[in-house]
Amino acid sequence: MARLLVEGGLRLNGKVEVSGSKNSLLPIIAAAAMATEGESHIENVAPYTDVLDLCQILRELGATVEWEGETSLRIEASRLNGWVAPYVLARRLRGSSYLLGLLLARMGKAEVAIPGGCEIGSRPIDYHMRGLGMLGAVTRVERGAVLAETDGLRGATIYVDRASVGTTVNLMLAGSTADGVTVLDNAAREPEIVDLANFLNGMGAHVRGAGTSLVRIEGVRSLAGTRHEAIPDRIEAGTYLLSAVTGRGKVRVEKMIPEHLRAFLLKLEEAGAKVGEGTDWVEVEAEAGLMGIDIQTQPYPGFPTDLHPLFVGVLTLAPGVSVVEETIFDNRFGYAGELIRMGANIKIERSTAIVRGTDKLTGAPLEITDLRGGAALILAAMAAEGTSELDGINFLERGYYQLEARLNSLGASIRRSGD
Ligand code: EPU
């Protein structure tokens, strides 16, 4: 199995670009298969393994999904004819839950494995099932999969529990061609939801209010292919910006949207980093490191849960006590034990990490068990004395593309061994 060897203690400086947002691409690729005519061209696509897996599922359901060059996908789904998603592929990624909305809309029935994904909590899909039920689907769980069926989806007004991102996506897909109007109250407001709405509207849908808590979808008869460029990945951008802290240097991230990271950037400034920005770039300078701060994760526009592990990683070296509360997922601290192996002082109490800053971390053999926790370990290893060996790098490939190469271009030393 391949592993990463990370040499710590190197100073980072330079510029880096980010790829398209994984969490935008997954719903958009599923939405592209809603088209009964024409083809979609989706740009700014990176070959994250989650994206590759979803594309493969769509192929097995009868769609044509092809790469056009390195960063663009062509999707043609007029002949989509399957309704059973291949179990092993579907259970690998959370984004496969979007197949429920898609297949109910296109085929009137769906069988999709209960999605797995990263080990960050129990992550049920009861909100998705309840919402789809209100649109006229009958759902049940059998042999590890959700079976759903409808004699025709009908618009309804639905309260989205906990402003769930995935539920909002599924109901936007299902509502787009449902009979009548669907209103999502307490909808997720993430930028990825807005991106999906723009894509669906390009296909001929009538989605209004995306980015607010109230999304209104007027069902249309059918959707057609369109062209779209996915938004930049805000979590990848945040990852490189935090590398300026572990690398005690200055890092500029280009081709990003600063507004999508506002809460994170304000927290970085509060912790003592110098933050500069233009329309599509942000620069962080943190030669002196950070000071301890308190953070609570929240749905957008609050501080993103996906950046909590990375922030905890850098706060392990920040003087003072930091209190980081995770409010979205029930078990997102898997990485903390590995940071403790490196000499970090972290106590987990229920949903909160209490971090007492230490003077130094030391390299260690480390095990990655989830995507963002893995990135947190890489950043910590870059700040540690000596070399760290990281196993479980398949988790990183779910949502980062060329992570080592990009960090190395800033001055890090990360090598792959044992491929
Ligand atoms: N939840 C339920 N039942 C449901 C749906 C959600 O109990 O039916 C719970 C979840 O377990 C969680 C909370 O509600 O405690 C919110 O979950 P949400 O549905 O918003 O999250 P998600 O759609 O499963 C997406 C991203 C995550 C990101 C979250 C929050 C994708 C594929 N995943 O997950 O991304 O953390 O929104 O912003 O878009 C990542 O990229 O590393 C990642 C984990």
Q: What is the mean pLDDT of residues 289-311?
A: 97
Q: What is the mean pLDDT of residues 177-206?
A: 98
**d(CA 13, ligand 1 centre) in Å:** 33
Read off the pLDDT of residues 223-234 as tens digits, 9 standing for 90 and up.
Answer: 999 999 999 999
How far is C-alpha 100 from the geometric centre of its chain's CA atoms? 19
Residue 66 has pLDDT above 80, yes or no: yes
CA distances from 305 to 70, 89, 185, 387, 402 (A): 30, 25, 22, 28, 23
**d(CA 166, ligand 1 centre) in Å:** 6
Tokens of 100: 């429920």
Q: What is the mean pLDDT of residues 323-333?
A: 94
For the chain, the distance separating the N- and C-terminal CA atoms, rounded to the nearest angstrom, is 6
Q: Residue 43 — pLDDT band, cuts 50, 70, 90?
A: very high
How far is C-alpha 95 from the geometric centre of its chain's CA atoms? 9
Strand bridging mode 35-37 / 13-17: unpaired
**d(CA 362, ligand 1 centre) in Å:** 33
Geometric angle at alpha carbon 327, from 381 and 290, rounded to 5° = 40
Q: What is the mean pLDDT of residues 346-365?
A: 97
Residue 119 has pLDDT above 90, yes or no: no
Task: Please work out whether the CB of residue 328 comes within 6 Å of at least one atom of ligand 1.
Answer: yes
Q: What is the mean pLDDT of residues 150-174?
A: 98
Residue 165 has pLDDT above 80, yes or no: yes
Task: Please work out whether the CB of residue 167 comes within 6 Å of at least one atom of ligand 1.
Answer: yes
Sheet holding 109-113, edge to edge: 109-113, 145-150, 137-142
Shortest CA distance to 316 belongs to which of 287, 355, 373, 290? 355
Q: Are 202 and 59 in contact (CB under 8 A)?
A: no
**d(CA 120, ligand 1 centre) in Å:** 10
Between CA 88 and CA 101 the distance in angstroms is 19
Residue 121's pLDDT is 73
DSSP string, 40-85: EEEES----HHHHHHHHHHHHTT-EEEE-SSSEEEEE-TT----B-
Residue 181 has pLDDT above 90, yes or no: yes
Query: Cβ atoms within 10 A of the Cβ of 176, count?
Result: 28
Shortest CA distance to 416 belongs to which of 173, 403, 68, 342? 403
The share of the chain scoring above pLDDT 70, in percent, equals 99
What's the mean pLDDT when you consider all of the chain?
Answer: 96
Residue 122's pLDDT is 76
pTM to 2 decimals?
Answer: 0.97
Question: Residue 118 catalytic?
Answer: yes
Atom of ligand 1 nearest to the CA of 399: 41
Residue 123's pLDDT is 81
Q: What is the mean pLDDT of residues 343-362?
A: 97
* Protein residue with least CA distance to atom 11, ligand 1: 123
Read off the pLDDT of residues 21-35 as tens digits, 9 standing for 90 and up.
Answer: 999 999 999 999 999
Q: Residue 418 — pLDDT band, cuts 50, 70, 90?
A: confident
Between CA 279 and CA 197 the distance in angstroms is 23
Q: Residue 1 — pLDDT band, cuts 50, 70, 90?
A: confident
Q: Are 61 and 80 in contact (CB under 8 A)?
A: yes
Task: Please work out whether the CB of residue 100 comes within 6 Å of at least one atom of ligand 1.
Answer: no
* Protein residue with least CA distance to atom 24, ligand 1: 166
Between CA 260 and CA 127 the distance in angstroms is 26
Task: Please work out whether the CB of residue 133 comes within 6 Å of at least one atom of ligand 1.
Answer: no
Residue 118 has pLDDT above 80, yes or no: no
DSSP string, 332-383: --TTHHHHHHTT-EEEEETTEEEEE--S--B--EEE--SHHHHHHHHHHHHH
Q: Residue 311 — pLDDT band, cuts 50, 70, 90?
A: very high
Task: Please work out whether the CB of residue 404 comes within 6 Å of at least one atom of ligand 1.
Answer: no
Query: Dmax over Cα atoms in the chain, in whole Å?
Result: 63
Residue 5 has pLDDT above 90, yes or no: yes
Read off the pLDDT of residues 89-117 as tens digits, 9 standing for 90 and up.
Answer: 999 999 999 999 999 999 999 999 998 76
The domains located in the chain, with CATH, are 3-16+233-417 (3.65.10.10), 24-229 (3.65.10.10)
